[in-house]
Amino acid sequence: LTLRPTVAASATRLSTRVFCHLAQGGIVRGPAFKSQPQQAAGASYFTSKGFSTPSNRSHPRESIRTMATGAAAGPAKRVLVPIGTGSEDMEAVIVIDVLRRAGAEVVVASVEDSLEVKCSRGIKLVADVLMKNVASSETFDLIALPGGMPGAERLRDCAHLASLVAAQKGAGRLYAAICATPAVFLEAQGLIPAGAKATAHPAFSDKLREQGAVSQRVVVDGTLTTSRGPGTAFEFALSLVKQLYGEEKMAAVAGPMVMYPFSV
């Protein structure tokens, strides 16, 4: 399985190039959209205003973009999601997907020398950019770090990423980590403020200095959000949506996903 998030250099919003061909029931990959069969008459798409059937004159790509990113009032929030060899597959994809559903402009950056990254369970992701090409001057509303091993170590060992996260923390902007990464990366690099509550995967949480909240599924302390693992990834991602866009947007994103009961 290869999931391929892409970004256009001149685009203000990202669109997903993997989409479901509703009439055929299969998976079709872009960008050769025009060569694909037309959607069946009457096919419906879920948009921010509910289900709708596009007219024959409307371009299908706009409906696909709406499905992928949703609609958000005001300018899109910019989010950086770094990935590396051995990043946890579910954590990376769920964070990217949920934030895009909320309308965020998510930039997926590879800390490796290639855009294609093999995750911890063998799923291959294709990043939008190489981490080394993300300018130090770029501003993100959120930097969200997936876990996994050795993915957490690959993120930790990227000096440029560590510098960006330190600048994010220093500027008082949101940053987040899940699974092994709070301990292996953030704690090791001194990026968890003294006395701040945090959590991590049970196999790594004993490495956190502050142990008061390690059993919680999602911990928000100031601008830092941490979580435990693949099973808490949806709650983690929805907490980030809440912090970026508010509780109403979080509920709007969670509803169509038929989320289990949760509290963040």
Which active-site residues does the annotation give? 179, 201
For 117, residues 6+ apart whose C-beta sits below 8 A from its C-beta are 83, 84, 85, 87, 110, 124, 125, 126, 127
Task: Please calculate the CA angle 39-44-50 and round it to the nearest 5 degrees.
Answer: 150
Handedness of CA 85, 89, 91, 97 (dihedral sign): positive
For 67, residues 6+ apart whose C-beta sits below 8 A from its C-beta are 19, 45, 46, 47
Nearest to 1 by CA among 29, 36, 22, 32: 29
The full length of the chain comes to: 264
Q: How many CA atoms within 13 Å lie on the side-chain side of 170? A: 8
Render 29-46 in DSSP notation, one character per residue.
Answer: ESS-GGGSPPPPTT--EE
User: Rounded to an integer, what distance in angstroms lies between the CA atom of residue 35 and that of residue 46?
Assistant: 23
User: Rounded to an integer, what distance in angstroms lies between the CA atom of residue 71 and that of residue 245?
Assistant: 12
Report the DSSP beta bridge partners of residue 126. Answer: 116
